[in-house]
């Protein structure tokens, strides 16, 4: 049997859809600085690059000696635009100008899925897949706080989907199990919880005030939440299994994309009204959608090493 299957191995590149391979040949992640001046780009098999954002154009600023050899590499740029947090086998804080490693961070189990800096840049929070949140001091590189939600065996948190600082001592986290938690990172205790039901994706604004979530059902709507009050603000129709969303830094706008609908839509989160839509036929498979801090533009990538900046009219 094994001799019969061997010739079929040569046919695999022709039998598997090209989009499957595209996912490991292009941009795997990006990070945008809080002031919207810099963008860091991780491309599979290439060194990490930093770009100046100039309107709708990107101009190369620096190539850093960090090879991106896996997909989904977490990235974050510090508020002062001097440091990039990046992780592959180890978590490193890289100096953008020199490319040198400022700190190599320790004290974690699973590799982080995402990063975010505190507003003052003194803390870095890392969200690990199985519900583990670590917070490091960026000046010393030492682990400062740890919140291990998986120790609570009575609760099903699911994987962490997004994190955001609400000030310098409070952290908001969203889990696929349908919970959004507010944490006092000094004590490691939860101060507030919001039950939003099982979700396929959750996105938080940069201050953790507004969240958008969607379930995994093909007809699941997108729900927009006030994180502090727990109030459901709006529900937006979105059809399809291959969907994604991103929320603006201030939480005022939402971008949604559906492969089945072949369109991108921009929404006002305060009113739930449609602001603009882009009909795409055929639709590329967007792996990255992320707002620029001005809330008037967003960045996309669809299986290549190129990025596109869109304007919201």
* pLDDT of 18 over the 70 cut: no
pLDDT digits (tens, 9 = 90+) for 129-138: 667 888 999 9
Q: What is the mean pLDDT of residues 73-84?
A: 95
Instruction: Count CA atoms within 13 Å of residue 258 on its CB side.
Output: 19
pLDDT digits (tens, 9 = 90+) for 181-231: 999 888 878 888 899 888 889 999 999 999 999 998 889 999 999 999 999
Give the pLDDT score at 261: 84
The neighbouring-strand residues paired with 117 are 124
End-to-end CA distance of the chain: 59
Give which of 81, 82, 84, 83 is closest to 42, Cα–Cα: 84
Arithmetic mean of pLDDT over the chain: 85
pTM of the model: 0.87
* pLDDT of 5 over the 60 cut: no
**Residue 293: which pLDDT band, with cuts at 50, 70 and 90?**
very high
Place of tokens 């989160």: 269
Cβ–Cβ under 8 Å, residues 264 and 276:
no
* pLDDT of 74 over the 70 cut: yes
Give the pLDDT score at 265: 95
Domain assignment present for residue 255? The answer is yes
Q: What is the mean pLDDT of residues 146-163?
A: 71
Q: What is the mean pLDDT of residues 40-69?
A: 92
Domain assignment present for residue 40? The answer is no
Q: Is 219 exposed, middle or buried (0-12, 13-18, 19+ CB in 10 A)?
A: exposed
The neighbouring-strand residues paired with 243 are 258
Cα–Cα distance for residue pair 28/288, rounded to 1 Å: 8
Give the pLDDT score at 14: 40
Domain at 98, CATH number: 2.130.10.10
* pLDDT of 6 over the 70 cut: no
Which helix H or strand E contains 14, and what residues bound it? Answer: helix 12-15
Domain assignment present for residue 222? The answer is yes
Q: What is the mean pLDDT of residues 120-145?
A: 89
Domain assignment present for residue 256? The answer is yes
Domain assignment present for residue 46? The answer is no
Domain assignment present for residue 14? The answer is no
Domain assignment present for residue 140? The answer is yes
Q: Which of 16-25, 138-147, 251-260 has the lowest mean pLDDT?
A: 16-25
* pLDDT of 151 over the 70 cut: no
**Residue 150: which pLDDT band, with cuts at 50, 70 and 90?**
low
Give the pLDDT score at 175: 87
Q: What is the mean pLDDT of residues 145-154?
A: 66
Give the pLDDT score at 140: 94
DSSP β-ladder status, 143-148 and 160-165:
unpaired
Domain assignment present for residue 60? The answer is no
Cβ–Cβ under 8 Å, residues 42 and 48:
yes
Instruction: Count CA atoms within 13 Å of residue 201 on its CB side.
Output: 16
Give which of 203, 208, 198, 245 is closest to 229, Cα–Cα: 208
pLDDT digits (tens, 9 = 90+) for 236-290: 998 888 889 999 999 999 999 988 888 999 999 999 999 999 999 887 888 899 9
Indicate the number of domains in the chain. Answer: 1
Domain that holds residue 185: 73-311
Cα–Cα distance for residue pair 150/144, rounded to 1 Å: 19
Give the pLDDT score at 4: 37
Cβ–Cβ under 8 Å, residues 206 and 164:
yes
């Amino acid at each position: 049997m094994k001799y019969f299957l061997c010739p079929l191995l040569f046919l695999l590149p022709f039998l598997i859809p090209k989009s499957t391979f595209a996912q490991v040949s292009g941009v795997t992640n990006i990070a945008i600085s809080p002031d919207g001046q810099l963008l860091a780009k991780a491309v599979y098999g290439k060194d990490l690059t930093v770009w100046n954002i100039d309107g709708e154009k990107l101009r190369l600023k620096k190539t850093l000696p960090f090879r991106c050899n896996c997909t989904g590499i977490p990235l974050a740029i510090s508020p002062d635009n001097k440091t990039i947090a990046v992780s592959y086998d180890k978590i490193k804080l890289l100096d953008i100008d020199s490319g040198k490693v400022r700190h190599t961070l320790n004290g974690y189990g699973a590799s982080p899925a995402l990063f975010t800096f505190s507003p003052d840049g003194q803390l870095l929070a890392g969200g690990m897949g199985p519900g583990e949140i670590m917070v490091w001091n960026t000046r010393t590189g030492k682990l400062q706080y740890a919140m291990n939600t998986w120790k609570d065996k009575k609760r099903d948190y699911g994987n962490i989907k997004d994190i955001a600082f609400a000030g310098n001592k409070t952290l908001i986290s969203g889990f696929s199990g349908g919970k959004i938690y507010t944490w006092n990172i000094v004590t490691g205790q939860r101060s507030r919880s919001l039950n939003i039901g099982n979700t396929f994706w959750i996105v938080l604004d940069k201050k953790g005030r507004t969240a958008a979530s969607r379930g995994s059902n093909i007809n699941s709507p997108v729900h927009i939440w006030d994180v502090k009050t727990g109030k459901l603000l709006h529900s937006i129709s979105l059809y399809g299994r291959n969907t994604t969303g991103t929320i603006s830094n201030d939480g005022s706008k939402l971008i949604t994309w559906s492969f089945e609908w072949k369109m991108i839509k921009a929404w006002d989160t305060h009113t739930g009204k449609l602001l603009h839509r882009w009909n795409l036929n055929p639709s590329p498979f967007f792996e990255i959608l992320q707002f620029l801090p001005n809330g008037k533009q967003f960045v996309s990538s669809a299986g290549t090493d190129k990025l596109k900046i869109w304007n919201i009219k």
